[in-house]
Structure 1
Amino acid sequence: MKFQNKIALITGSGTGIGKAIATKFVEEGASVIILGRRKGPLEEAAKELEGKIPQGTNASVRIFSGVDVSDETAMNGMFDSLKNDNVTIDYIINNAGVSGPVTCFPNSPLDEFKSTIGIHLTGTFWGSVQALKVMKEGGKIITISTFFTEERPLEQRPYRFRSPYTASQGAKNRLAECMSWELTDKGIISIATNPGPVHSDRIYKTVYPKAAAEFMRVSGFEDLSPVEVEEAKDDLLECILADGVDKEGIAKTAEKLANGKDVAKLTETFTNLLTKIQTIAEKVQNNTSHMIANKEFLSQTQVAESVLNLCDDEIAKIINGKVIPGDRVFYPVKAHVGTTTPGVHQPDFGGKAVVFTVDATDKADAERVEYLAGHVEKNGGKVACFISQTTPTNLQEQISGKFHSHVVDITNPEEVSKWLNTAKTNIGDILGVIHITGKLPEVEKLTELSRVGWEELVAKFISTPATVAQRALEQFVPGGGKDPRLFKDTKGSIMIIGPDLPIGRKVTGTQRAQVEVFRGALRPFTTTVNQELSDVLKSQIRLFTIFPGSVTGSEPNNEKIADAFNFLVSDISASSSEVTFCVDESR
């Protein structure tokens, strides 16, 4: 009865890992609050949990159904209700999540990209912030993330077909660290844990089969086009049964999508496709298990045990602010993080266009645009600057006074596409697209931001760079999202610059941790997209991310960023495994 008289709130707890965690808390005497979008699974879980309440305890189970963690109104209402009932939460477990789109980034719908970020990252942030209303000193925030996004020395793991998932999970790890800095005065502890591969229906029925289907869309299958595989895959995956396949369902899918084709022949093709998808999914699972010493994924109950261990008072004090790797996978990767880029001979940009998309925060950002755009023009290139509407007016004028510029809504995919097309028409083929995120605005604490303030930062440092990158890929390979075959041997360069580390001799740990939340999103995002571009799509297009500044607080050097762009547009960059560069670091 270690947690008797304690209350734990677990997000996404109607099924899976969340339900397993709630079960462990109840068995240890705690009361639990479970929540999720679907009422049915929550009611079933509550009935099961109530049956496990130990005799002699006053533990209880409370449900909040219809609560999507990304829904501000629903989350606010839930925590206000708890506050009005004088409930004190001892533990909030940020567990809710979704698979998100499982496809190559060029084919990933941006609304689904943003939705995945909203559930995983914003849901974790806002749930934690709102929980502070009903937490007291000694409370603990436990965030569940994934081992795939965690850095090792000079490495960053890619997770192909999962770019929004990796971006949000990487940011969650750094958010957990940041909250430990910001909440220390409240006596609230923040810890993250990366369990590694876990036995779950999501992996076996969703992630692995969808990934296998994406391999088929990219590589092709029999006489099916990529679009035909895309149209059929969701229906076909529904036909996977525990003891085989739903043959009638496959036939119905063929009938629905025949479009003049022979239905019997298409049924046979779809059957073969589903068999191939199952084979690949099993192979992925088997390969992953062979990277584990005992070849076993964790059970959901084992994950729950580890979470409760992190809630132990003494253990939590020791590991406050840490990201605990439950990662037992030996996952060999190339180095993806570098410092200064390799030196190359200064390229001639003659006749080529370089497009800047700019979301400047301060004068130094505008000066960076001036330096880099001047570098391009000095070496024969042409420049177009598309400046965000949120950039301060004086900075807009500073840039537009020297270069061909337009103030546009760079958060809007259609706007970005329109202006990239305009640039290509008016000034020539686009050699590269450079997106400048600007710096993190000065905020005392992220955890004291309004919801609007937080979402502006997510848009600035995650959604907008992704929007620009995807539309740039469409510019380099028109139609490539739907037909991945078009990417083979194509060239193009995209560079994201920022956010910078803070400058000065007295930079605090909190300031660094705040910036790292958003760098933590861009590192795995960049690595994942590049693995898809190189290994899956066989292109020579590269997306680089440059992180200016250093941990010592020194001034960033724009000349090193210009050198990085020179390297990016060179032929040798296509064979480089390093795609994230901290150009001002000497380590």
Structure 2
Amino acid sequence: MLKFHDKVALVTGSGTGIGQAIAKKFIENGASVIILGRRKEPLEETSVILKEIIAKVNSGAFVRIFSGVDVSDEDGMNQMFDTLKKENITVDYVINNAGVSGPVTCFSNAALEEFKSTIDIHLTGTFWGSVQALRVMKENGKIVTISTFFTEERPLEQRPYRFRSPYTAAQGAKNRLVEAMSWELTDKKIISIGTNPGPVHSDRIYKTVYPKAAAEFLRVSGFEDLTPIQVEAANKELFPLLGEDEKTVKDGITKASQKLAPSIGKDAGKLATTITNLLNKIQTIAEKVQKNTSHMIADQQFLSQGQVAESVLNLCDDEIARILNGKVIPGDRVFYPVKPHIGTTTPGVHQPNFTGRSIVFTIDATEKSDAQRVEHLAQHVIKNGGKVACFISESTPKELQEYISSKFHSHVVNIKNPEEVKKWLNTANTNLGNILAVIHITGKLPNISKLVELPRAKWQELVEKFITTPATVAQGVLGQFVPGGDKDPRLYKDAKGAIMIVGPDLPVGAKVTGLQRAQVEVFRGALRPFTTTVNQELSDVLNSKIRLITVFPGSVTGSEPNNERIAQALNFLVSDIALDSSEVTFCVDESRLG
């Protein structure tokens, strides 16, 4: 008897790569599989392979294809599970594998729509796929979510992944979602497990991620006599040539040179030489990144896709799954040396004089204590000579809008709209003077019984509130500090500024449950890698003196947060000491971490 005979596995993103390898492994062990993805052709090709294996093992299993299904598409996912429900198909294993590289560029240069799309596919796709799958699952079902090793792993360790801010934010949140779902699904007797495979042999790494990262390094400083904008234009022409034969590459460079020469103002022949050198440099850096990563692995070997598939099937074993329910297995094998990045209270500094400087607050308050936090921080600024402007989100309850507006110069604006953010920051800079820092208040997580019981729209609101809105504000602030820096990153060198994200808080009370903490951690789990990654870009890549820190109020003991500690964090952020600190996320109410 094959181990998974008469079982059904649903694997997202299963037309190619790791998803296909997982589907094959299930089929080899007797299971039927449901495969889905955006492109029809790869799924059909995979189906042929799977059916050949079924015939070979003589399991009598089936393969069901759902093509054109994007995991981020609510209607498409709903319709797929409607169909499975009508056909009385019970799913035993859901493997959340679908993903994209997302933009591989500095956060300041990343299109916000691409940022949001990456979050939608990786995080919301995982969430909604899991929620909808509950309709066709029964007791003892397993949900296995595949994430990345570029998220927090051990106590005090947070791994930055420069040029991949939306990817790491989504993956960090996914890891914590795995934990939250393990709490929420106990009554259904469904198990939730995560796994973080390390570097895996795949075209996505070799042809997309590593070369694009190499190209971004070259864009930041320009290459030979090309400006960053010109390097970016050339890179777009070069990427389709990666991995092609010598003649195709040569012809492609000739066409690219002829196309770009008029706008760059260079002779096409000379430009071809420059572009050839650029492509060679991209390949050299990409190979170096791959080599450096392999040297952080004991046997210096990336995992094969089959090995990842084998580990996923092991996690679906009944006994192993019961033992590991709620765990995120750090299967990466990578010894990745990093600085702490996460701390408790910020180092003490001499009280700055804010005279002649302005501090802007962007506020997405949930309850009165959020508004009182703004009041405390704003009074701290004013008391020390500074000016304050408050831009309050339209989604903030009206009574809280009025509370803040009655005390400080305020406007109710759409801070989810990047153009609005840009407009009001310009207004503040013009009317109040030089902006020293921007403080974004996320507000607390609303009371939720279970995340998995939320309607899609409510989930989207939470993602917007705690992930995409802070990113929108942060990018708008970077544009204010360094006008034009998105197109010419050289302008960032030595530029100054400070951004602080505050929240969401851990829940308060003597009887806080593990579930309540796990729910908040989903969104804190997004902001930690986001903060770390953006800071590494700002300091190590762009050579700026701009810093972004995130402050998480509250403690695991359920004690009341202390707003004065957040005020001290602001003092630290605008000091020179912050420029030399590796810690960028602060749990200010915790006495220790780990």
Does TM, scored on the shorter chain, surpass 0.5?
A: yes
Residues 159-198 of structure 1, C-alpha deviations (whole Å, 9 max, x = no match) = 0000000000000000000000000000000000000100
2:482 to 442, 459, 477: 477
Per-residue displacement from partner, 1:396-451 (whole Å, max 9, x unpaired)?
A: 00000000000000000000000000000001000000000000000100000000
Q: Deviations over 1:477-521 (max 9, x none)?
A: 001111110000111000000000000010011100000000000
Return the offset for 1:241. 2.3
- Name the CA distance, whole Å, in 1 between partners of 2:222 and 2:361: 36
Q: Distance in 2 between matches of 1:540 and 1:56?
A: 64
Q: Does 1:252 align with 2:255?
A: yes
CA distance in 1, matches of 2:58, 2:396: 61
Gaps of 5+ in 1: none
Q: Deviations over 1:365-419 (max 9, x none)?
A: 0000000000000000000000000000000000000000000000000000000
* 8 Å Cα contact 2:28/2:57 also seen in 1: no
Paired letter, 1:291: M
Give, in whole Å, the separation in 2 of the partners of 1:242 and 1:24.
Answer: 31
What residue number does 1:239 align with? 241
Contact 2:237/2:256, CA 8 A, preserved across alignment: yes
User: In structure 1, how many angstroms separate the alpha carbons of the residues matched to 2:238 and 2:569?
Assistant: 45
1:57 paired with 2:56, answer no
What displacement does 1:243 show? Answer: 4.6
TM-score, normalised via structure 2 length? 0.98
Residue deviations 1:271-320, cap 9 Å, x none? 00000000000000000000000000000000000000000000000000
In structure 2, C-alpha distance between the alignment counterparts of 1:151 and 1:560, rounded to whole Å: 27
Q: Determine if the alignment matches structure 1 residue 377 to structure 2 residue 379.
A: no
Letter paired with 2:520: V
| Alignment check: 8 A CA contact 2:553 2:561 kept | yes
Residue 229 of structure 1 aligns to a residue whose secondary structure is helix
* Structure 1 position 150, deviation (Å): 2.4
1:28 is matched by which residue type in structure 2?
N
Shift of 1:234: 2.1
Q: 1:503 aligns with which of 487, 490, 508?
A: 508
The ranges of structure 1 where at least 4 consecutive aligned residues each deviate by more than 3 angstroms after the TM superposition are: 242-245
Tell me, what secondary structure is at the counterpart of 1:136?
A: strand
Q: Distance in 2 between matches of 1:55 and 1:192?
A: 29
Q: For the residues of structure 2 that align with 1:399 and 1:151, how far apart are their CA atoms?
A: 39
1:522 to 2:527 alignment: yes
Deviation at 1:327, TM superposition (A): 1.4
For 1:339, give the aligned amino acid: T
Equivalence for 2:354:
349
3-state SS, counterpart of residue 140 of structure 2: coil
Q: Is the 8 A contact 2:153 2:330 kept in 1?
A: no
Deviations 1:121-172 (A, max 9, x none): 0000000000000000000000000011123221210000000000000000
Taking the aligned partners of 1:436 and 1:251, their CA distance within structure 2 comes to 51
Q: Which residue of 1 aligns with 2:20?
A: 19
Of the candidates 384, 391, 394, which is equivalent to residue 396 of structure 2? 391
The correspondence for 2:436, drawn from 422, 431, 446, is 431
Please give the residue correspondences for 1:170-319 in structure 2 after superposition, counting only pairs within 5 Å. 170-244=172-246, 246-258=249-261, 259=263, 260-319=265-324
Counterparts of 2:230 and 2:425, CA distance in 1: 29
Is the contact made by 1:143 and 1:191 (CA closer than 8 Å) also made in structure 2? yes
* Alignment correspondent of 1:81: 83
Partner of residue 128, structure 1: 130
Secondary structure of the corresponding residue to residue 91 of structure 2: coil
Matched, 1:119 2:121: yes
Which residue in the other structure is 1:158 paired with? 160
Q: How far off is 1:55 after superposition?
A: 4.0
Distance 1:452 1:240 in 2: 40
1:537 to 542, 545, 554: 542
1:239–1:247 CA contact under 8 A, matched in 2: no
* Mapped partners of 1:333, 1:110: distance in 2: 28
TM norm structure 1: 0.99
Aligned length: 587
State the 1:250 CA deviation.
1.1
Which of 573, 576, 579 is equivalent to 1:571?
576
* Counterpart residue identity of residue 254, structure 2: A
Cα distance in 1 for partners of 2:258, 2:359 equals: 48
Aligned partners of 2:336, 2:226: CA distance in 1, in Å?
33
Instruction: Note the alpha carbon deviations across 1:26-64, whole angstroms, 9 max, x for none.
Output: 000000000000001000010111101144322011100
Matched, 1:489 2:489: no
Rounded Cα–Cα distance in structure 1 between residues aligned with 2:59 and 2:495: 66
Larger deviation: 260-269 or 86-95? 260-269
Q: Which amino acid is 2:425 matched to?
A: L
Match of 2:300, SS?
Answer: coil
| Deviation of 1:457 (Å) | 0.1
Q: Which amino acid aligns with 1:586?
A: S
Deviation at residue 230 of structure 1 after TM alignment: 1.0
* Residues 149, 169 of structure 1: 8 Å contact kept: yes
Q: Which residue of 1 aligns with 2:139?
A: 137
Structure 2: how far apart are the matches of 1:212 and 1:234? 13
CA RMSD of aligned residues (A): 0.7
Deviates more, 1:37-46 or 1:149-158: 149-158
SS state at 1:148 partner: coil
Aligned-partner SS, 2:412: strand
- What letter corresponds to residue 331 of structure 2 in structure 1? G
Q: Distance in 1 between matches of 2:121 and 2:339?
A: 30
Aligned to 2:102: 100
Query: Contact conserved, 1:336 with 1:578, CA < 8 A, in 2?
Result: yes
Counterpart-to-counterpart distance in 1, 2:357 and 2:470? 22
- Contact kept, 8 Å, 2:36 with 2:43, in 1: the verdict is yes
Aligned to 1:449: 454
Indicate the larger mover: 216-225 or 461-470. 216-225
Whether contact under 8 Å (2:146, 2:194) holds in the other structure is yes
Q: Tell me, what secondary structure is at the counterpart of 2:21?
A: helix
Q: Choose the corresponding residue for 1:146, options 121, 145, 148.
A: 148
Q: Give the share of equivalent positions with the same residue, in percent.
A: 76
Gaps in structure 2 of 5+ consecutive residues: none
Q: Return the alpha-carbon distance in structure 2 between the equivalents of residues 265 and 246 of structure 1.
A: 17
**Contact 1:435–1:497 (CA under 8 A) maintained in structure 2:** yes
State how far apart, in whole Å, the 2-side matches of 1:416 and 1:478 are. Answer: 14
Looking at structure 2, the residues matched to 254 and 456 of structure 1 have their Cα atoms a distance apart, in angstroms, of 46
Cross-structure match for 1:366: 371
What amino acid maps onto 1:115 in structure 2?
A: S
Cα distance in structure 1, aligned partners of 2:122 and 2:403: 38
Residue 257 of structure 1 deviates from its aligned partner by: 1.2
Distance 2:50 2:257 in 1: 43
Q: Distance in 2 between matches of 1:56 and 1:42?
A: 22
Provide the C-alpha distance between the structure 1 equivalents of 2:493 and 2:395, rounded to a whole number of angstroms. 37
Q: What is the distance in 2 between the residues matched to 1:567 and 1:160?
A: 24
Q: What residue number does 2:417 align with?
A: 412
